[in-house]
Amino acid sequence: MKQINNIKVMRDTYVAFGSYDGVHKGHLKLLEALSEKGRKDQKETVAVSCYYPSAMKEGVLTTEEEKAYFIEKTGVDCLISYNMEEECLSWEDFVTKVIFGKLGAKVIMTAEHDDRLENLKKIAGWHGCEVCTVESVLYKNEIISSDLVTKYFMECKLEEVTQMCGHTYIMIGEVVHGKALGRTVGMPTANLGVGETKLKPPSGVYATRTRVDGEFYQGLTNIGTRPSVDDLPVITIETFLLDFSKDIYGKKLILEVHSFIRGVQKFDNLEQVQNQVQKDLTQVKDYLNSLS
Q: Do strands 236-241 and 13-18 pair parallel, antiparallel, or not at all (unpaired)?
A: unpaired
**Distant-in-sequence, close-in-space partners of 288: CB < 8 Å, separation ≥ 6:** 207, 209, 218, 258
**Distant-in-sequence, close-in-space partners of 5: CB < 8 Å, separation ≥ 6:** 80, 81, 82
User: What pLDDT was estimated at residue 230?
Assistant: 53
Alpha helix positions (H), the chain: 25-41, 53-56, 64-71, 91-93, 117-126, 146-154, 158-165, 270-291
The highest-confidence range among 23-32, 56-65, 87-96, 268-277, by mean pLDDT, is: 23-32
* Other beta carbons less than 10 A from residue 81's beta carbon: 20
Are residues 39 and 32 in contact, defined by beta-carbon separation less than 8 angstroms?
no
User: What pLDDT was estimated at residue 140?
Assistant: 96
Confidence of residue 5 (pLDDT cuts 50, 70, 90): confident
Work out the mean pLDDT of the chain and round it to a whole number. Answer: 91
On the 0-12 / 13-18 / 19+ scale of CB atoms within 10 A, 255 is: buried
Structure confidence by residue, pLDDT tens digits, 217-242: 999 999 986 545 555 556 789 999 99
What percent of the chain stands above pLDDT 70?
A: 92
Structure confidence by residue, pLDDT tens digits, 122-172: 999 999 999 999 999 999 999 999 999 999 999 999 999 999 999 999 999
Confidence of residue 187 (pLDDT cuts 50, 70, 90): low
Q: What is the pTM of this model?
A: 0.91
**Average pLDDT for 66-78:** 98
**Distant-in-sequence, close-in-space partners of 182: CB < 8 Å, separation ≥ 6:** 188, 189, 238, 240
Confidence of residue 246 (pLDDT cuts 50, 70, 90): confident
Domains of the chain: 2-147 (3.40.50.620), 168-291 (2.40.30.30)
Q: How many Cα atoms sit within 13 Å of 276 on the Cβ side?
A: 16
